[in-house]
Structure 1
């Protein structure tokens, strides 16, 4: 019992730390379809008849009564937005997605809303019209009565009440069924007030540091609203760039200049839904100190529970950081102070101060990336008696008590199962470690990531582990999986000599369907001839170990690792930047002096609660990487596998990844000397590309397929040394470079060959295609994303043109500084026929002569 109590305390503490919302995972249906939202919480301005009342406006839901949708009493007019369907979520929620559908009526319904608006409120009195990032309010709805159309709300909204308001032109009868997707807003923050963001002139361009999506009043200050500081999206190190395409410089940040504040500080007030016990505040700050931007020097926070402010504030002092220019979260300890309002003054540390996100943790916070199913008579996140707006039916008291007892029993059962599972995990860990000494065998994992299987067949084979199904739909309602797109191509069946995937007849999912597998997990593949087609099968490659010892498999003492910062995070673990003391003896190659100075390393960890398959994959990855020895490949130095969490320690290059490195530079004009440190010459760019091709030449000699080659996965050292790595996808910075398919696979489609996207086939030739895109990135200094003018769906459509080969495909344009010979090399990397693409040996030879 004591262990169970300890485990419950640990869960609560972890939940408090992890309470910040993550829009990428906060996409759960909130209960219209499943019935968790009660009928009494669904209302409307009017109804056509009793059979089309508001309670029937549930997406994809038919209980046998009614006509299968909500229909207003009058026809909707283009300029008459009086009709609405309203949903009360009972508590604040972070809503990222909405879904709509027309009238069902056993197939006889024909009414639907072609367009609609969304309004929302946090208190039921002040209503705000949702607008996208370009200021548009109209959302495109349905084109028929039966299809479900899902639309991302970008930016997302924080609300308790949500209204759907149909808009039609010309006048017509409309009916709607709806669903909301998101998760509970556990911060409890209902508004923040602050001075309006200001404008900066930097290097000749205007940087707009205003809160663009703020939904309160904005004049000289921002009052009673929420906006970019609570949207779950963090700004980049370079504040002139954004994770959102097509927006202006400075979009992700709200910033102020010291010259506008005589007191030397910016005051912000935060209002919450009720009195809370606050443990900490996390503020994401920019720290480009070379550009006059620094994190705040000091924060002084006052607290109010009723009408008066408490006299004693919390004072937090931050030490200046002139070492790393990385943007980061600063955690301000609030000392378990009770309050419903917090007022903080942030003192300037330089000319400018910029924030992109602020989050609070309190003792009531739990995981907000998942939902606990609620009963139809139970409000999410609180007991019915805690909400003064909730009407309690005394006749249901016994049922409620019974439900609470059942929940407690289930919790204890879960704890027992978890403790039992931990015992088995220790046994599995011992067995897994023995795999490091076994002969390497790998199976091509296309059955997990290939998109030739329909989502319906997968969902029937894999049983969901959650009451709520996580969904990751795209912005277009016409989206289809690439395999379905390919089946629509009439030439597909007639085309001969296409490569096929040699996969098992029944799909075998290594990971749960609600977790996307790590994409850059390398496979060793060889090409084998088969009658009538080319089939790719896995072969075992005996890669020689280093002379004398396999140093990468040596155990490194954990206590010698000092954490510096988190580089990234994936679904199975994190990548940390650490200082390693005494790592040189693992790094040496039997020559040279060994220094006692600690050096920077990247430490990739596996979560302690990872399942057996994830642990086995992690150990396989160690086994594979430990045998790679090339000056242009990141090297595995040591491991920590004698206890959890499992770790692999690799080299780290002091200048970070190539994408960020080049984006901070400008092209040096030909014939002119380098005028500043930010200029880089064409010769250096080609030298970098030749190093990448050299590293890939080594990998291809081992039949090693990388599958995620891009500048984000190349690291830069001194003297412009380049080494290829594979953990770029784990960084939140690059989530826009990956395309999620039904929540199962995360794919860098803008770097992928047509056969990888449409056929799920990954070979050395597909790596050559990705190298062509990487070379294009280098020569454009990573100033824009490949095919930036295309949506993800249009990129997939363009691969269909490569398949049809009717000269309608669109290629990446020739970079400004790129000579014809190098652009011809790029185009050869993107040839339709994989056999006609150059090898990395040929690519390297060509680049060495340019």
Structure 2
């Protein structure tokens, strides 16, 4: 998983690290005791009762604070040190003086802080601290730092007594990158332009023989360089500040830049993202190719490298991310060699996506929802009155009384629930069968739907699930009795508790089939009887297999593959009324989904089901099934192929239409184009919804464009390696597009037309960001799931996608309605189509 700093790297360039630091401000445990006494040390202490263990914000144990021994002199370097137990992204420091129930008045007016990981140390400048002994003062760190050890050094200009209480704020550094090494950056002196200094100005490691090693700097600070490398995101710095860059001929004849990355432990690497400048008009391009070698723990460098060749772009000068697949190679260190494509090569951010190759260590200081930074607002009240301790005993007595009353009420509620469950067990078997026989609910309540519970491990274990099947069946019947899906009372329990309460659990033992035959199940429909799937049920004609000429493999899934093929004589074969546009050619390009020879019998039945469904769909905005090859193995279905590829790739290579794009012949789209695309997608989904079909993977990667820019909704996205990072893998088996999924789909396994509406809102967001950024790019996959828990609890702490700059306010309001927490509050696809259609002709 990615750490908070590196998740900033997914941004397209519109946000900076400072924006993300707002979200990474969790209390790390001084006040609530998660940081233990043994982890807090000091250079000295005045008395045992003013030792470092008492330096806890808003606490009054001992004599009320940590106080160094004697009078603090201007030349002193007395310090308080905190061991956070693991690498942490530190963003805020809060301080107080010693109040000691109105008996103390010592505080520090300023302090310095020094941070380190294990070996490297970095000292930041002086920070203003307190003006009295009781008020809390917070200071944001500029820039935020990655550290394990934090040392606070009180500063004074006069000889005085100083005491301190502190709290530290940030979040765990999950990326695990400890250091990187690279050649020093260089000066660029182009004629007619300012001199650009492309050095790593914040690097905290060593510099020797024009090389950087043993530290981290601008490539991991979360600040994304702009398209013009001379422009910067900070004021009062030099041109080129945001980039680390090298000139080809300055590195000898080797023609490459070699960098080494060291991690905290062995990891299983899936990809590397490199933000690179591409201002080719000034001799700057993204790297031509890269080769990476891997070094496991306790071993040397492996001989086999992962090589990746970049698709160079000489039309769009925008800086961009290049995603390098690392093929799940396991290592503790990486060495990557980036080859030049032009005179200059410049990077502003490098991040890695990985999974731990070993069991996660139990850290001393766990970061969970209950330790959110609820007290940060209190820290910002710098000028409040001293606390009045006269009424403290009365307040404590009232609180104890209230707590006792709450305990009694909770006990009574639990007892009532227990009695009700006993009564249900006695009478339930008489009522359920008759209700189940009368039920004929819609598709989204059918008990044959596959359901996945990401936060409940028992539903990821087939063996355990088999033992649970009788209970699941009973839950399904109980749901039928209610005529629909009975949701738990989510306001009264945690997700884990609710999953084990009265929520119906619909699941199947083989959740791999969520991936489908060629990557995904395009439509979730009521269960089809396998025995009824014969050739006569398939309305598509049998095409001669020998007339399919394979050109390229587009993708692959669990049991099948998708190929680009040339179909000879297809227009004549289909005859008049063909869904193909008018063509003069004898052969046309088509997409062929083919079942593998080693596919299971279940996969074969699923493939025939998909053919049966596809052959009955007829809408201008849905991909069409043209013909099939099922008379012999391997089974194939032939669908339309869109010349302009998928919408994600199409938009990501374009800019919004402007005078500049016209003058420089830059590929562009207009706001009207984006609205027209949105209307087409809503029209196709309206058609599916009218048939009570559920797509379950609606996104721009699954919207294809033909030569006339007509959009057709398909299902190839999951099968393509290009979009593997858009899917979350469950214990190495099923994959889910969690960044597009509604909260009830992730947590309760509930897929309906309403969850497709949620995904449509995310798809709109993609369109109006021109697919330059992944949804929730600031969050790791685990944090996305955690965020759905906030929707589940509905306490107002959930994070929404921001409004794209290109998006009209009325359209963003429509997106927000798609992401409504309650299903009845979301619009229908008919309503979305009617709301979007008038905008196209404006």
Which TM bucket (shorter chain)? Answer: 0.3 to 0.5
> TM-score, normalised on structure 1?
0.46
Q: Which has the larger radius of gyration?
A: 2
